[in-house]
Homo-oligomer: A and B are copies of this chain.
Amino acid sequence: MNILGLARHGLTGFEQIAVVSVVIVAIISLLYAWFLRSIVMKKPKGTEEMQRVWEAIRVGADSYLNRQLRSILPSIGILTVALFFSVYIVPPTPEALEEFPNNTQLIIAIGRTVAFIAGASFSLLVGQLGMRMAIQGNVRVAAASRKGFNDALEIAYYSGTVTGMLTDGLGLLGGTIIFIIFGRAAPDALLGFGFGGTLLALFMRVGGGIYTKAADVGADLVGKVEEDIPEDDPRNAAVIADLVGDNVGDCAGMAADIFESYEVTIVSALILGIALVEVDPTHSLKWIVFPLIIRGVGVISSIIGTFTVPVWERLPIPILRAHNAEEAMFRSYEVSSVITVAVSFIFATVYANDWRLGALTAIGVGLAVAFNPLTSYFTATRKKPVQEVIDSMETGTATTILSGLSLGMESTVWALVVIAISFVLAILLYSGSGALYVLYAVAMIGIGMLSHTGNNVAMDSYGPISDNANGIGELAWQGMEDEETLNARQIMADLDAVGNTTKAITKGIAIASAVIAAVSLFASYITDVGRAQAAIGLPRLDAIRISDTGVFIGLLLGGALPWLFSSLAIRAVSRAAGEIVQEVRNQFKIPGIMEGTVTPDYARVIGISTASSQKELIPLAVISITLPLMVGLMLGVEALGGFLGGVILSGQLLAVFMSNSGGAWDNAKKGVEDEESDIEANTGKGSERHKSGVVGDTIGDPLKDTAGPALNPMIKVVNLVSLIAAPILVRYSDLGWGGWLVVLLLGAGFVWGVTQSKKPSEPFVDIPAESGD
């Protein structure tokens, strides 16, 4: 049997069928996304007023994404060329020579370059299409909320699922096709694919994150804190920018980010799998095919799980019936998990003849599930930690902030302990077989953890969709007080509240999976460096020794990078929010605005948000790319390994800290808002305690939605850059004057990145929002 020439790579008949089936599953998931889209698109878009508000959001979001694309295209171009020629600097790997005896370098160069472009395009597509779908969904959710809860939930969740299945489908398709074409020479192309996706995700996260929080913080600071007007009030000039921000940040940024984690775990599992094929006495290709199968299984489980979400509330069996949207989503997540774990144990024992592979999938799935209660414990309003933050409001803003900081610092420790436990399990399962098996086991945990990406992205996108729906309702139904409207408002408020929880939970999973993915990449790094060294006859690097002072320096510098990155991201938001505050304050002074008779100039605020987020894209990417290269060139590949360890450690700790502190402040504020408003008793909206809560929420915003999430792709960009550069660093370990020149150039780039990012953005001269192009 030789389907699609797969026998050439040494696959058995069953394995050929399995790989082809995975491709078919990937296509099915894309078709499923298309099917859900058509369900949503058939729903009505509501009144003319609603569509007017919606149009403003749509145009703002589209024009932002288009603008962002133009900003980053040149750098993508430069990197494409660099990647192409990077293949020529080093000799091809033995695997490449085996798979492609003729024109090896050209084939690999083209493969890597095309894969890079594909990875970047897929990431972009997931972000762009996902966001556009969310925008199509939000106005329809608002319209459906007038009909009933289940109708609204269905649209919101299915719209989110479209993005989820796109993520699954494109991620699986890309990785599998690369393997079909390149076989055991796949790592070269896979690295390009992973790097493209991750880089785009970094851009989307940084840009979207700064945009959304600059607008949000700016809107809140003047609206809620100074003028005491409610959220989503049409008199606030920043209100449309805020709604646009939810889409470009929480939808587009998040989708691209999770897509990239999904991709990268496949990349590292395949790289480590290929290394195992060499080492394993049977030379079985199961180490490569098994992860692909699990991903295929996960997609099928996701389809079944996500499709059942609207069913749970109508279920005739009372014990299984869900009582609200949150329960329905969790129930369907559980369905997906059970299917995946059961099926993966079957494949593990019957096909791979190693039950432990099934256990690894189960650990991965379990890890994703474990992060739900963990994140929820530290960020849910009714739980003790957030209650303590609420208590601390009694003594003012300072204690509110301190208790949130303390909470975040503690939560990041436990998140890390959970991850460490999963690694311990990997060791227990595979330490008898050898170190490389343990590293592969860690990568397989990543495969398992992200197998329900469809569900996760669906739950996450659901958040901004219902948030926006709520906003559209607020803006379009001004002054309507009939029962249907009140009812619809309540439904949307409920959906929105659930969205905050699901968003927080998926954020926790996204960070954890980023760390697992990064650790797998780190493991691949060692393998890859060793291979590159063996290829040119050098002794193989067999370990990253932090007891070596040079490597320890690498560890220190790596640990510092996430702090620098976060510092710059927070500063960017803080500065942009300041500009927006000034702008909104100025507009409030225009006669008629506060009375609601004159519409504010929404476009000016959109312009500020756009300009300040654009400005950071290239500098932050340059910092993340140049520093590891400098460390690698100056201190060597082993020190770069230490650097990667430091980046992962600091990145994980900082990301969860920022995410959970922010989430806790947000929900603590909501907790106070749910109290009865009584200024005298210092409770509810408008009280001093509420003001402290709003300040906390505002501080948390850029932490939890800009800096924290942007660390996910940053960690992986650093790892992938190092992986791609490894063979070059190995070959040119003795820097000549040319090498030092490169170091100097990289250093200049790094310094430029830092200073450029710290510069205030150009004085605001009326940047109009472009009409959707």
A396 partner, pick from B225, B406, B523, B645, beta carbons under 8 A:
B225
Q: Bound complex: CA of A221 vs CA of B653, how far in Å?
A: 31
CB within 8 Å for A577 and B399 given contacts A543-B548, A552-B519: yes
User: What 0/1 readout, one digit per residue, does chain A (513-553) give for beta carbons within 8 Å of chain B?
Assistant: 00000010011001000000000000000111111111011
Say yes or no: B409 contacts A563, CB within 8 Å: yes
CB-CB < 8 A to A560: which residues of B? 412-413, 416-417, 653
Say yes or no: B653 contacts A559, CB within 8 Å: yes
Q: A572 — nearest CB in chain B belongs to which residue?
A: B406
CB within 8 Å for A423 and B549 given contacts A398-B221, A563-B410, A574-B403: yes
Say yes or no: B577 contacts A395, CB within 8 Å: yes
CB-CB < 8 A to A641: which residues of B? 546-547
**Copies of this subunit:** 2
Asked whether any CB of chain B lies closer than 8 Å to the CB of A427, the reply is yes
User: What 0/1 readout, one digit per residue, does chain A (559-570) give for beta carbons within 8 Å of chain B?
Assistant: 111011011101
CB-CB < 8 A to A226: which residues of B? 396
Say yes or no: B416 contacts A555, CB within 8 Å: no
Asked whether any CB of chain B lies closer than 8 Å to the CB of A671, the reply is no
Q: Bound complex: CA of A727 vs CA of B413, how far in Å?
A: 29
Q: Bound complex: CA of A426 vs CA of B409, how far in Å?
A: 34
Say yes or no: A438 contacts B549, CB within 8 Å: yes
CB-CB < 8 A to A416: which residues of B? 556-557, 559-560
Say yes or no: A557 contacts B417, CB within 8 Å: yes
Interface centre among A398, A405, A577, A642 (most CB of B within 10 A): A398
CB-CB < 8 A to A407: which residues of B? 567
CB-CB < 8 A to A699: which residues of B? 398, 401-402, 405
CB-CB < 8 A to A545: which residues of B? 543-546
Asked whether any CB of chain B lies closer than 8 Å to the CB of A646, the reply is yes
A457 shortest CB reach to chain B, Å? 27
Asked whether any CB of chain B lies closer than 8 Å to the CB of A650, the reply is yes
Q: Bound complex: CA of A566 vs CA of B399, how far in Å?
A: 15
Asked whether any CB of chain B lies closer than 8 Å to the CB of A435, the reply is yes
A399 partner, pick from B221, B544, B567, beta carbons under 8 A:
B221
Asked whether any CB of chain B lies closer than 8 Å to the CB of A419, the reply is yes
CB neighbors of B among A378-427 (8 A): 392, 394-399, 401-403, 405-410, 412-413, 416-417, 419-420, 423-424, 426-427
Q: Bound complex: CA of A547 vs CA of B527, how far in Å?
A: 10
User: What 0/1 readout, one digit per residue, does chain A (674-710) give for beta carbons within 8 Å of chain B?
Assistant: 0000000000000000000001001100110000000
Say yes or no: B395 contacts A549, CB within 8 Å: no
CB-CB < 8 A to A217: which residues of B? 398-399
A412 shortest CB reach to chain B, Å? 6
CB-CB < 8 A to A426: which residues of B? 549
Asked whether any CB of chain B lies closer than 8 Å to the CB of A134, the reply is no
User: What 0/1 readout, one digit per residue, does chain A (568-611) give for beta carbons within 8 Å of chain B?
Assistant: 10110110011001100000000000000000000000000000
A69 shortest CB reach to chain B, Å? 28
Say yes or no: B556 contacts A399, CB within 8 Å: no
Q: Bound complex: CA of A649 vs CA of B652, how far in Å?
A: 13
Asked whether any CB of chain B lies closer than 8 Å to the CB of A83, the reply is no
Say yes or no: B553 contacts A424, CB within 8 Å: yes
The 3 closest A-B pairs by CB, nearest first: A409-B567, A398-B698, A543-B545
**Apart from A406-B570, A544-B546, A556-B652, 12 more pairs, CB < 8 Å:** A225-B396, A394-B578, A395-B577, A397-B397, A399-B577, A402-B699, A405-B570, A409-B570, A410-B568, A410-B571, A420-B556, A427-B550
